[in-house]
Each structure stands twice: as structure tokens, then as C-alpha cells.
């Protein structure tokens, strides 16, 4: 990418992405420049609920509400040395890609000036108002890539929510890749999605946000924006997808590669913590159909809220038995930052249950169990946590609905939002299938399901994981689907009337040879496979990449496989070989041109069939 501080508005594609090679960047190093130290007050305790009645009318054995723990840092406009405390946490988390630190930085409503909140790994920043405009930072919330020599392709696991920003330079920098949501944000200026120096980047996701100025993705290879408003959009590299976005560029795939839907078929924004006076509550936004623009544009958002007294405020020392007891007693779960080891499955059996994580709370199944299961009930909301596979193989990591689930949840679906899955990287991990969706009408809104290609415990069999996402339920919608590096199908979709808006994929880098990926008579497993018996399915803006760096001679027949029938439709498909390390013969089934040699240029199919 250009190293000039004034790049072309339509730069060349960002080049081959080698996440595992430190220093293999396209631009000069960019070093973080701010320093300082300080502290801030911990969250106040919410007193209420130890005497609240359980579902059977008797007292609960476990209390609701309580302190949010040491890693939830709460600021108000009078807090001293906020910048110092932000810098202290950033210094710790900047390059701690597989570390154990987890932080939520929460800002009470009000106005803050002169801040630059740089975000490292496992750090979430959020306002505590009911609207983003209740909490204004005259300053920046910054993600850059100085720690990785200007390469932003590993800027994972961080988030910004529910704030208004007035950037110092007029433009806020948010150079992220996967698992880094930007939700309910109001940027009173522009948004730059590239690192300083315009090195590689591979994100990302924006939802329910208003950017008054122009969004400049520059070197971002792909991006998905949902139910938002933008003042303009500068360029595209491989795959830019918009649904329900005011100001989005017009549909133009394949060139430029914009896939634009006027509305999002169904959406329901992520639950969030806020302050009502001195009381913490969790807001539950209502479902929207054919949504367009932000949910909070006319003042108070539409939905309901729950007092913190109705949540069991969990900490990383809590056992799975304690979490299940809280759920059985009718409490919701608020997972404060930290790493939770589970020796049994957390079971969500009650309709309307909320499981909300703060600061990338991480669940690890230690002995091959499934980390979390949801019953076939209405309106469960899972949001804001990471599931990290343990060293003993789990058959599944997250199950939404039991096998054979068939109840109609169209009026009140289960939502899975910013729930991320990792197999390997932080250490050995194995899982046959990561996320299984059995319940009808489930909405999965932004997930990154990742079999690690770098870090510890990584190898073709070391962190074996055959399937990323398996959808068996009918009428499931996924908006913002990122799934990478699985040994077999990254996505296998067996349910009827499924819909995906935006898909990003890389096939596993580390296949040793052609035989290791052979799928019967087919060369390689598709990244996205629709079951042979499915009669209705639709997808918009889907991309798959290969980078077989262990054996560049490997050939992948296609990125996508689906029944060839009129009810199964795709719009805006692409495959690309990164630097010629492996090749695709087709895009979908036997349709689409092969990738071409060492040129990192996508092969595209506009419509299928």
C-alpha cells in the first residue's frame, strides 16, 4: 500500500495477507506515541436483589446485582487522570494477542475532552447512556497497528460501543480486523479504517452507527456495515457489503465490489449496559423488520430494560454449576471480564434469558464438554463473549437449540451477537464443530469463528476442527459471518430458507497435501456448503480466500457449493488466491473462472444461478 500520508482514494488491493509472519508488512512501522499512567474508580455495586423471588416464588440462593469487578473501569467527567489510566491499560494489552487480560472501559454520561483511548486486545470501551450522544468524547478511540509494524490483519478482539466522538483531526482511526465490532457509535467527523501507513487490514463490522463524515476503508479487504448512516464511502478493495445503510454506495458488484441492500431483513440490536440515574440496567432493543438507519436516531431507543438486580453478576472464579444455578433461579447472566473454566455445560433453558459478556469474557470448556447450550425457547440473547476450545476435543462448543428443534420463534427469535469462537492460538484446543444453530428464526449478528492459523497449539491435527458453523434450523439469518481455517466445511447450511448477508472466509493455511483436503471426488471442502436437499437459500456478498502456504500446489475446486435450483440464490460471490499459494478452479459449483497464478485478483460471480 502507499506509504505517503496522502494516499490515492482508490488504492491498489492490499496484497497477500500473511498473518503469521511478523514484520511482513506493506508499510513502514507505525509506533504508538502516547504514554502515561493512572487509575480510575471501579464500578459501584448495585444493591437490590438478594431477596428477590425465584421462579417458584421462594427466595433465591444467589443474589442479583453486585459489583462489576476490578476489570470494569468506570469513568465520569470528574475522574482524575483518565488518559493515564487508558494508556496504562493499552500498554499492557497492545500486543497481548493471546494474553489473559480482559478489560471493559465504561464512561458515564457527560462530556470528556482531550482523550485518546487507544484500544489493545480484549478491551471494550462503551458509554453508559441510553443514547450514544449522552456520552461525548472530544477526542479519539483509536486502533492502530504500530505493535505489528503497520500490519492491522491481527487487530482482533476489541470493541467500541455507545459513544459520540468528536475526533481531534476530524477523522477517527479504527484499523481493525475480525471480532472488533463498532456498534451504536456517533462519529461527528470521518472514520479511517486503515492503519497509519496504509498497511494491510482485514476487518470488519459496523452496526447501528452514524458517521457524519466519510468512511475511508483504504486497504481494508472487506467490510460489512448494517443499519447505519454514513456521510460517504471512499473506496473498495475486494468485498464491501451494506444492508440498511443510509448514504451507502449504490449496488455495483463486481466493479467496484459493493453489494448493497436497501434494508436488513430482520435485526435486533445487541443488549447493552447503561445507567438510569445511579442504577445499572441492561437495555434490550426491540426487533426491527426491513430496518434502515440507526435504532436511536429519534431519541430514546425502542425496547425494554432490566435492572442489574435481575442478573447474576458472574466473575471468572464462578463455576459452571454456579452459573447454572443462577439460570435455574431465573436470573440472567452478566459475565464480567476474565477467563471462565467450565467443567460442564452452561444451560440456558428459560425463554428471554440474557447472557451478556463484558470485556471479552472468555469461556473455556476444560474436559471436552459443550461450553453453552440454549433450549428451543423464545428470545434468548447471547452477546459479547469469547468461547475458547479446550485441549480435550469438544463435539460442539455452542449449540443454539437441541437437535430437531422445530418451534416457531419468528415473533421473538434468539440472537447471537459478538459471540466469537477460537480453536487454538492461546494454547492447544480442539472441537469437531464450533457453532451449531438448530433453533428456527435464530439471528446470528456478527461472529468470527476461527481455527487459529498462528499462536500456540497450531497445526493441521494439533488444533483439529472440522466444521466452523453448522445451521440445521430453518429460517435462520446471519448478518456478518466470518469463519476461517477449518479442516473441512467452514460453513455447512442444512436448514431451509437460510439467509446470509456478508461472509468472509479463508481456507485452512496448513493443509499438508492435496489428499488431506480431498472431499470424495471433489478437490477440497467448500468454504460455504448448502445442503443437497435444501430448496430455498439466499446469500449476498460472500468471499473465500485460499493461502495454502504449507503446500502451495494444493487446488481447491470451488469456494461455494450449493444445489443448482432456482430457490437457492447468491449475489456477489468471489474467490481469491493470496499470492498464488493454492488455487481455486471455480467460484461456486462448476461456475466461475479459476484464480490466476500468483496474481492476488479475485474471480467473481455476480449472480448464481
What's the confidence (pLDDT) of residue 58?
Answer: 60
What's the confidence (pLDDT) of residue 30?
Answer: 25
Q: Which residues contact 484 (CB under 8 A, 6 or more apart)?
A: 178, 448, 449, 450, 451, 453, 468, 490, 504, 505, 506
Tell me the pLDDT tens digit for each residue of 314-346.
Answer: 999 999 999 999 999 999 999 999 999 999 999
What's the confidence (pLDDT) of residue 52?
Answer: 52
How much of the chain exceeds pLDDT 70, in percent? 90
pLDDT over threshold 60, residue 588: yes
Tell me the pLDDT tens digit for each residue of 438-485.
Answer: 999 999 999 999 999 999 999 999 999 999 999 999 999 999 999 999
For 197-221, what is the mean pLDDT?
97
For 95-118, what is the mean pLDDT?
98
pLDDT over threshold 80, residue 509: yes
For 192-201, what is the mean pLDDT?
96
pLDDT over threshold 80, residue 180: yes
How much of the chain exceeds pLDDT 90, in percent? 89
What H or E segment, with its residue span, contains residue 241? strand 239-243
Q: Are strands 303-307 and 272-276 parallel, antiparallel or unpaired?
A: unpaired
pLDDT over threshold 50, residue 46: no
Question: Which of 205, 284, 204, 295 is CA-nearest to residue 246?
Answer: 295
Tell me the pLDDT tens digit for each residue of 598-608.
Answer: 999 999 999 99
What's the confidence (pLDDT) of residue 60?
Answer: 78
Cβ atoms of 300 and 321 within 8 Å: the answer is: no
Active-site entry in 506, 536, 538, 585: 506
What's the confidence (pLDDT) of residue 55?
Answer: 56
pLDDT over threshold 50, residue 49: no
Integer Cα distance of 237 and 222 in angstroms: 7
pLDDT over threshold 80, residue 39: no
Prediction pTM value? 0.92
Exposure string (b/e) for 82-109, b if CB count within 10 Å is 16 or more?
bbebbbbbbbebbebbbeebbbbbbbbb
What's the confidence (pLDDT) of residue 301?
Answer: 86
What's the confidence (pLDDT) of residue 298?
Answer: 78
pLDDT over threshold 50, residue 13: no
pLDDT over threshold 50, residue 44: no
Integer Cα distance of 436 and 402 in angstroms: 9
pLDDT over threshold 80, residue 393: yes
- Whether 506 is a known active-site residue: answer yes
pLDDT over threshold 60, residue 41: no
Provide the 8-state DSSP code for 456: B
The pLDDT confidence band at residue 300, using thresholds 50, 70 and 90, is confident
The pLDDT confidence band at residue 74, using thresholds 50, 70 and 90, is very high
| Residue 155 grid coordinates | 487487530
For 230-256, what is the mean pLDDT?
98
Least confident interval from 52-61, 334-343, 588-597: 52-61
pLDDT over threshold 60, residue 36: no
Work out the mean pLDDT of the chain and round it to a whole number.
Answer: 92
Amino acid at each position: 500500500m502507499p506509504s505517503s500520508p496522502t494516499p490515492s482514494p482508490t488504492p491498489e488491493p492490499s496484497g497477500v495477507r500473511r498473518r503469521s509472519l511478523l514484520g511482513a508488512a506493506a508499510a513502514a512501522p507505525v509506533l504508538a506515541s502516547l504514554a502515561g499512567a493512572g487509575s480510575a474508580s471501579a464500578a459501584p455495586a448495585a444493591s437490590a436483589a438478594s431477596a428477590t423471588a425465584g421462579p417458584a416464588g421462594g427466595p433465591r440462593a444467589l443474589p442479583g446485582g453486585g459489583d462489576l469487578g476490578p476489570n470494569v473501569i468506570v469513568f465520569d467527567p470528574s475522574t482524575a487522570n483518565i488518559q493515564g489510566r487508558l494508556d496504562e491499560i493499552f500498554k499492557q494489552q497492545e500486543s497481548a494477542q493471546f494474553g489473559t487480560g480482559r478489560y471493559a472501559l465504561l464512561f458515564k454520561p457527560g462530556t470528556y475532552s482531550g482523550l485518546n483511548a487507544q484500544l489493545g486486545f480484549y478491551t471494550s470501551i462503551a458509554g453508559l447512556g441510553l443514547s450514544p450522544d449522552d456520552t461525548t468524547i472530544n477526542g479519539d478511540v483509536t486502533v492502530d497497528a504500530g505493535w505489528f509494524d503497520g500490519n492491522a490483519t491481527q487487530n482482533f478482539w476489541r470493541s467500541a460501543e455507545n459513544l459520540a466522538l468528536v475526533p481531534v483531526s476530524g477523522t477517527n482511526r479504527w484499523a481493525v480486523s475480525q471480532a472488533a465490532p463498532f456498534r451504536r457509535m456517533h462519529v461527528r467527523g470521518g472514520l479511517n479504517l486503515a492503519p497509519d501507513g496504509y498497511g494491510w487490514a482485514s476487518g470488519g463490522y459496523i452496526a447501528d452507527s452514524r458517521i457524519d463524515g466519510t468512511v475511508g476503508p483504504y486497504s481494508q479487504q472487506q467490510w460489512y456495515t448494517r443499519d447505519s448512516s454514513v456521510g460517504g464511502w471512499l473506496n473498495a478493495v475486494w468485498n464491501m457489503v451494506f444492508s440498511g445503510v443510509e448514504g451507502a454506495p449504490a449496488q455495483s458488484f463486481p466493479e467496484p465490489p459493493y453489494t448493497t441492500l436497501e434494508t436488513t431483513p430482520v435485526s435486533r440490536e445487541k443488549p447493552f449496559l447503561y445507567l438510569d440515574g445511579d442504577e445499572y440496567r441492561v437495555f434490550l432493543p426491540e426487533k426491527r423488520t426491513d430496518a434502515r438507519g440507526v435504532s436511536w436516531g429519534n431519541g430514546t431507543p425502542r425496547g425494554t430494560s432490566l435492572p442489574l438486580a435481575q442478573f447474576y453478576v458472574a466473575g471468572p472464579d464462578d463455576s459452571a454449576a454456579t452459573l447454572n444455578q443462577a439460570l435455574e433461579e431465573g436470573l440472567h447472566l452478566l459475565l464480567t471480564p476474565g477467563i471462565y473454566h467450565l467443567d460442564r455445560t452452561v444451560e440456558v433453558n428459560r425463554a428471554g434469558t440474557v447472557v451478556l459478556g463484558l470485556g471479552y469474557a472468555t469461556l473455556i470448556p476444560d474436559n471436552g464438554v459443550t461450553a453453552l447450550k440454549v433450549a428451543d425457547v423464545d428470545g434468548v440473547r447471547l452477546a459479547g463473549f469469547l468461547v475458547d476450545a479446550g485441549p480435550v476435543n469438544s463435539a460442539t462448543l455452542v449449540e443454539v437449540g437441541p437437535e430437531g428443534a422445530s418451534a416457531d420463534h419468528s415473533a421473538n427469535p434468539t440472537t447471537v451477537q459478538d459471540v466469537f469462537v477460537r480453536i487454538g492460538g492461546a494454547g492447544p484446543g480442539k472441537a469437531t464443530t464450533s457453532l451449531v444453530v438448530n433453533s428456527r428464526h435464530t439471528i446470528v449478528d456478527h461472529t468470527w469463528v476461527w481455527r487459529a492459523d498462528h499462536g500456540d497449539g497450531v497445526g493441521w491435527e494439533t488444533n483439529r476442527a472440522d466444521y466452523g458453523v453448522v445451521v440445521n434450523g430453518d429460517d435462520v439469518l446471519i448478518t456478518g459471518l466470518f469463519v476461517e481455517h477449518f479442516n473441512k466445511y467452514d460453513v455447512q447450511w442444512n436448514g431451509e430458507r437460510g439467509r446470509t448477508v456478508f461472509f468472509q472466509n479463508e481456507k485452512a493455511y496448513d493443509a499438508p497435501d492435496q489428499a488431506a483436503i480431498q472431499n470424495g471426488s471433489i478437490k477440497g471442502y467448500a468454504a460455504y456448503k448448502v445442503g443437497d436437499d435444501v430448496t430455498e437459500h439466499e446469500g449476498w456478498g460472500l468471499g473465500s480466500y485460499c493461502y495454502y502456504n504449507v503446500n502451495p500446489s494444493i487446488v481447491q475446486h470451488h469456494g461455494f457449493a450449493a444445489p443448482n435450483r432456482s430457490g437457492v440464490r447468491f449475489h456477489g460471490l468471489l474467490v481469491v488466491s493470496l499470492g498464488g499459494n493454492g488455487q481455486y478452479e471455480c467460484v461456486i459449483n462448476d461456475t466461475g473462472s479459476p484464480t490466476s497464478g500468483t496474481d492476488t485478483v479475485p474471480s467473481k460471480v455476480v449472480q448464481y444461478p
